[in-house]
Amino acid sequence: MTATLSFEKLTLGYDRLPAVQQLNTEIAQGSLTAVVGPNGAGKSTLLKGVTGALTPIEGCVTINGFCEKDIAYLPQQSSIDKSFPMSVIDLVAMGLWREMGAFGRLSRAMKSRVSDALAAVGLTGFENRAIGSLSGGQMQRALFARLLLQDAKLVLLDEPFTAIDAKTMADLIKVIKNWHAEGRTVLAVLHDYDMVGTHFPETLMLARELVAHGPTAQVLTAENQFRARQMCEACAGVPHVCGKAAA
């Protein structure tokens, strides 16, 4: 198995306060990996580091075999202004940005792909609804449809199932499993260990530093969870300043 992502001595943080420290591991191509860990463990920070939105304080993220444009990223709190007068189909069609760019037109073939994506997430019939009228679950479905159209090799999901009903969750997990079957690499930050155990073959447990990474059954042990909590509590009070000044 070749690695899609490799982290070398990766340290990421804000204002020189590290949120992820000295991470060394690799994400295999086509793997379906859950990123878990206590609050403040640096899970979201890790995803931001992969998208390039955050520059490493130390070390690096290496992406093999494709460029940054092949990454689709669903942030935990999307920046969408729901009051903006935009229809569902307009929002979802923006997933085709890479193909049509800022000025290209939406061809007939593209329109039918948009319809397919909407159908895949169960939003057929919602095309012309204003995004402001969608419920939380429907909005998440729409964002998954947009991810589908991005046709990315690496999909990053940050807590995609927070405050989502069970039916929506089940439908969206199907979408994720389809990506996995198509050979795409998926990295999802999750907190529901039952779901991780059932649906995600690989798990990466973080507590600022790497706790464990490997097959889910071996990572999600009571011992590891206990260790992760302890590591986070231990460093929560004393932020280590790092960077050039401290080096």
What residue ranges bind other proteins (CB under 8 A)? 51, 53, 69, 71, 73, 75, 78-81, 84-87, 90-91, 94, 97-98, 101-103, 128-131, 146, 150
Q: CB neighbours (10 Å) of residue 81?
A: 10
Tracing tokens 């989502």 back to the chain, one arrives at 164
Taking the least distance from each CB to other proteins, the nearer of 102 and 166 is: 102
CB of 137 to other proteins, least distance (A): 17
CB atoms within 10 A of CB 55: 10
| Shortest distance (Å) from residue 195 CB to other proteins | 25
> 53 vs 234, which CB is nearer to other proteins?
53
Q: Among residues 93 and 207, whose Cβ is nearest to other proteins?
A: 93
CB-nearer residue toward other proteins: 100 or 235: 100
Q: Please, which residue, 81 or 165, has the CB nearer to other proteins?
A: 81
Find how far residue 31's CA is from the centre of its chain. Answer: 13
Minimum CB–partner distance for residue 144 and other proteins (Å): 13
Inter-residue contact 12 to 61 (CB < 8 Å) = no
The per-residue DSSP string of 126-145 comes to: -TTSBGGG--HHHHHHHHHH
- The b/e string for 228-240 (b: 16+ C-beta within 10 A; e otherwise) is bbebbeebeeeee
Shortest distance (Å) from residue 223 CB to other proteins: 37
Could you list the beta-strand ranges (E) of the chain. 3-14, 17-28, 32-36, 58-63, 71-74, 154-158, 185-189, 202-207, 209-215
- The distance of closest approach from Cβ of residue 123 to other proteins in the complex, given in angstroms and rounded to an integer, is 13
Q: Is 187 helix (H, G, I), strand (E, B) or coil?
A: strand
β-pairing verdict for 58-63 and 3-14: antiparallel
Max CA-CA distance within the chain?
58
Are 24 and 58 a contacting pair, CB within 8 Å?
A: no
The CB-of-164 to other proteins minimum distance in angstroms stands at 19
Nearer to other proteins, 58 or 90 (CB): 90
CB of 158 to other proteins, least distance (A): 11
Indicate the residue among 14 and 226 with the shorter CB distance to other proteins. 14
